[in-house]
Amino acid sequence: MTPQNQLSVPALSAPAAPPGGEHRVEPTVRVFSAIEEIIECIVNTRQDLRAHDCDCAGESILSFHWQASEVDELSEQLDARLAEVDEPKIRRFEYDYESETVYLDIMGESTLHYQVQRRLRNYINSRIAQLLAMANDARIRDLLRSIEELGTADIKYESKIRKQPDASFGQAGTLPSLVCEVSKARQYIDSSDGKIQVALLIDIQYPGIKKAWVSLLAADDSSSSWVQHSDLFHDDDLDQQPAGQVALYLSDFVGLAPSMPAALCRPSTAEVAAGITTNPTIALTYERLGAIFRMARHLHSPTEFTMEAGDEEENPYEDAERRVAEAEQRVRQEEHIKAERRVAEAEHRVRQEERIEMERRMAEERTEMERRMNAEFERRIAAEIKRRVAEGRLKAE
């Protein structure tokens, strides 16, 4: 592990072991033959964890084997039976179809877990908003606008994967392209046939909460495998915290869309090996991750943990919202100017048309007046001639 690192280059042909190993308590796979046994175990385990005030991620996960064909029914029956015994529902129900193993997160979400995923989600959202405000290319703006935060909705795909991430991003109507997990993740890339492009993982040391790791799992189009990169980003025992960043690309959020410029796509392992690199769309620095971690654990246990100067982030949307508002104001001003110009042109055309129509009517009126005057003049002349002829006849007589 190097002091300066960017999680976008090293490649492994198979999943690497979790960094360190001491920071996660892996759940023991149990054996049950009836739902009532599972309910009893859930109730007893919850009581034990509450009695010891335990907030360890591994110990709140109950795992056991169950047939895949009965998983949906099991999920419904567990919630129904827990409600009957006045117990909260399962917070998270996941299933590994390969090993036919159920994973139940039976405790409520801790403040630490919630604050880490919330602040990470907010940071990513703010960066997307900033990119949208600064994008000049209409294609890029359309792609950025298409990114939806899909939250913690269940991910189910062809009896291969059933998981619930802490946060997810993608386009509406599809599996999320990027998922975020705090403390655990399995099968995202392989079990989704590559439809899930990237999994961003935050691992926290339990117990103690003194260390934190970041991992990035990415589908590799150049091979049938996927790549994983892991690194420590915070350790209370270090005088100087690790430096580095996690590189995220626009393709991680929307997949390889036809209109996607190559510069915004994640480089493949082959491209990296050939020295082909691109600047990330979003750089998630270890400094920002460390601040997120420290603020989250301070809120989790204010008397035990403190924050550092500069950890308290400003409103993550403020600058992005200001840029978006300015861009929208510019658009409104441009539209207003265009509208005023169109109105002025229309009024000018109307005035011209009205003037032409008025001149035409005036010309017609003048013509009609002249015709009437000429007719009257001719009538008077004819009458005068007739009068004089009559007078001449009278005199002749």
Lowest average pLDDT, out of 69-73, 150-154, 163-167, goes to 150-154
Report pLDDT for 9: 37
DSSP state of 174: S
Residue 388 belongs to some domain of the structure: no
More confidently predicted of 277 and 18: 277
Give the pLDDT score at 290.
92
Higher pLDDT, 13 or 130: 130
- pTM comes to 0.64
- Higher pLDDT: 145 or 186? It is 145
pLDDT of residue 232: 92
Structure tokens at 250: 């626009």
Q: Answer yes or no: is pLDDT of 216 > 70.
A: yes
pLDDT at 205 over 50: yes
Residue 238 has pLDDT above 90, yes or no: yes
Does residue 148 register a pLDDT over 90? no
Domain count for the chain: 1
Q: Which residue has the tokens 């990237």?
A: 198
355 found inside a domain: no
Distances (CA, A) of 372 to 183, 348, 377: 101, 35, 8
Domain containing residue 178: 4-316
- Per-residue confidence band for 314, with pLDDT thresholds at 50, 70 and 90: low
Beta strands in 43-197 (DSSP E): 61-65, 92-96, 101-105, 148-149, 155-157, 161-163, 167-170, 178-182
Residue 17 domain-assigned?
yes
In a domain, 63, yes or no: yes
What integer is the mean pLDDT of 211-229? 72
Q: What is the mean pLDDT of residues 272-289?
A: 87
Q: What are phi and psi of 71, to 5 degrees?
A: -65, -45
| Residue at 251 is within a domain | yes
> What DSSP designation does 232 have?
E
Q: What percent of the chain has pLDDT above 70?
A: 78
CA distances from 59 to 49, 62, 110, 141, 167 (A): 8, 8, 13, 44, 22
Say what the pLDDT of residue 13 is: 33
pLDDT (mean) for 22-32: 63
Bond preceding residue 261 cis, omega within 30 of 0: no
Judge whether 386 lies within some domain.
no
Q: How confident is the model at residue 103 (pLDDT cuts 50, 70, 90)?
A: confident
Q: Across the chain, which distance is largest between two alpha carbons, in Å? A: 150
Which residue has better confidence, 185 or 167?
Answer: 167
Is pLDDT at 2 greater than 50 in this prediction?
no
Categorize the per-residue pLDDT at 244 as very low, low, confident or very high, splitting at 50, 70 and 90.
very high
Residue 338, amino acid:
K
DSSP string, 198-224: EEEEEEE-TTT--EEEEEEEEE-TTSS
Look at residue 23 in the predicted model and tell me its pLDDT: 45
Q: What is the DSSP letter of 252?
A: H
Mean pLDDT across the chain, nearest whole number?
77
